Structure 1
Amino acid sequence: MSTNTSGTLFLIPSALASGSEQAVTTPQVVEVLRRVRCFFVENERSARRFISALKIGVDIGALELYEWHKRSDFQSLDAPLKKLLSGTDFGIISEAGLPAVADPGAQIVAWAHRHGVAVRPLTGASSIFLTLMASGLNGQSFCFHGYLPIEKEARSRKIREIEQAARQGNAQIFMETPYRNNALLDAILKQVEENLQLCIGVNLTAADEWVFTQSVKKWKQSPPDLHKKPAIFILGKPPA
């Protein structure tokens, strides 16, 4: 339950791909962006670029943007958080896609709940669910693992864990920083049993997007170059 005096925290989806802003942003998001002036953002530059690309008449220079990333602490945001508690509405904008999903904005959302601030999620594009929708894998039972470990041994253990769950028919969704995609794909193709299905979704909502599902064995025959391309991976079996 929210307090009577605090503002509302709006979770504002941003575009997944440059050039898709107007196509994927809903009227609900546009309405909120036209009236909210204070934002917690993962990256100030990309947030300004996103709002500017919508061409909705917002004075970009008048916005108050407060960066929040995985190394931030609440002490650095003391003033804007007090402003939120005092009745000013705020938004959270991730660098791409849904805020607070595989995103440090989740910490601010948790803070808002602890302090009785109303939280309103808004509708927008999610590369995770767009890929799952298009995968042909189990949309009834799935698990999102977020970013896999960077260190090779830890990543290998995690892939084995994911493979075991995928064998049970549960879709296993995960991702990597784009410049490490090829290393992750190489590890998957070396470790995972060949008859499991692997879906890869790349550049979702962009003009050159693609989503394709086939066996690990077939991916081995012609692995794609995913370097610096935003991608989602799903390992599993087709639904029974």
Structure 2
Amino acid sequence: MPGILYLIPNTLGPAAPAPADPLAHVIPIEVQSITAQLGYFIAENAKTTRAFLKLIAAQHPLAKPLQEIHISELNVNTPAAQLPALLAPIKAGQDGGLISEAGVPAVADPGANLVRLAHHEGIRVKPLVGPSSLLLAVMASGLSGQSFAFNGYLPTDATQRTKRIKTLEDRSRLERQTQLFIETPYRNAALLEALVTACKPNTLLCVATDLSLPTETIATQAISKWKQDLAAGRAPDFHKKPTVFLLLSE
């Protein structure tokens, strides 16, 4: 009988120092307990996953010594042909965990294809509760939470990016739908500049940075106000920080 593939949430950044449990404010105790019981993980980066497991171990003894826990890597460069081998221990009866580099697995994360294969192979998939930067951003933005769409990364080419922004703005207006997207953190400023240049003055834009972290900032205002702030040198403090952009055209 196959084991269970647990989808294990991770923090959205370095855990804040705390006297007791540094994970408690973002990773539920039960999730930590389940994670500690597993001896096999699939993760984007083995090194950072071991660091995460060390934090787990501070509150919950691990099923095996950390050096004996097997971690297979799965990232955007992993060929589809290697996915069956990643699931082989679980298919053979061992429970395993899929861990994202940040946030929840399989959402804006390379684990989705593995989860699909698990369903095809008759493996039970068990999602666990944890932080999603996308949902936290929707919650905090004040924009439409009834209809929203995540669009991943926008094109890096300036002309194509502007065209894409205008398409998303039109879709937002026609469908009353919040449009979400992200950018490589060191290009946040360039994306914000492109948005204030391409969008209509009354379009609402939320910039949500370092969600759930001590340095978290969230601001929603019209494009016209963003343009004024940038002209006055009041740019968000988001250089090299994970940021979610949300747009709603009215």
TM-score scaled by structure 1? Answer: 0.92
Match of 1:9 in 2: 5
* 2:61 paired with 1:57: yes
Structure 2 Cα separation of the partners of residues 174 and 197 of structure 1: 14
Match of 1:37 in 2: 39
1:137 to 143, 150, 153: 143
Match of 1:107 in 2: 113
Structure 1 Cα separation of the partners of residues 2 and 160 of structure 2: 43
Structure 2 Cα separation of the partners of residues 112 and 153 of structure 1: 40
RMSD: 1.6
Structure 1 Cα separation of the partners of residues 184 and 207 of structure 2: 14
Structure 2 Cα separation of the partners of residues 235 and 77 of structure 1: 35
* 2:204 paired with 1:192: no
Residue 107 of structure 1 aligns with an amino acid whose one-letter code is N
> Could you tell which deviates more after superposition, 133-142 or 147-156?
147-156
How do 1:54-203 and structure 2 match up within 5 A? 54=56, 55=58, 56-58=60-62, 59-76=65-82, 78-168=84-174, 169-203=176-210
1:80-107 C-alpha deviation (Å, 9 max, x unpaired): 4222111111111011001100100111
Gaps of 5+ in 1: none
1:45-86 C-alpha deviation (Å, 9 max, x unpaired): 111112212323323212110110111024445544222111
1:19 to 9, 15, 19: 15
Match of 2:240 in 1: 228
Residue 234 of structure 1 aligns with an amino acid whose one-letter code is L
Structure 2 Cα separation of the partners of residues 126 and 70 of structure 1: 19
> Are the counterparts in 2 of residues 97 and 124 from structure 1 also a CA contact under 8 Å?
yes
Match of 2:224 in 1: 217
Structure 1 Cα separation of the partners of residues 182 and 48 of structure 2: 21
Structure 1 Cα separation of the partners of residues 215 and 40 of structure 2: 34
Residue 191 of structure 1 aligns with an amino acid whose one-letter code is A
> Are the counterparts in 2 of residues 202 and 210 from structure 1 also a CA contact under 8 Å?
yes
Match of 1:47 in 2: 49
> Are the counterparts in 1 of residues 170 and 249 from structure 2 also a CA contact under 8 Å?
no
Structure 2 Cα separation of the partners of residues 153 and 36 of structure 1: 48
Q: How many residues align?
A: 234
Structure 2 Cα separation of the partners of residues 50 and 220 of structure 1: 40
| 3-state SS in 1 of match to 2:24 | helix
> Are the counterparts in 2 of residues 12 and 122 from structure 1 also a CA contact under 8 Å?
yes
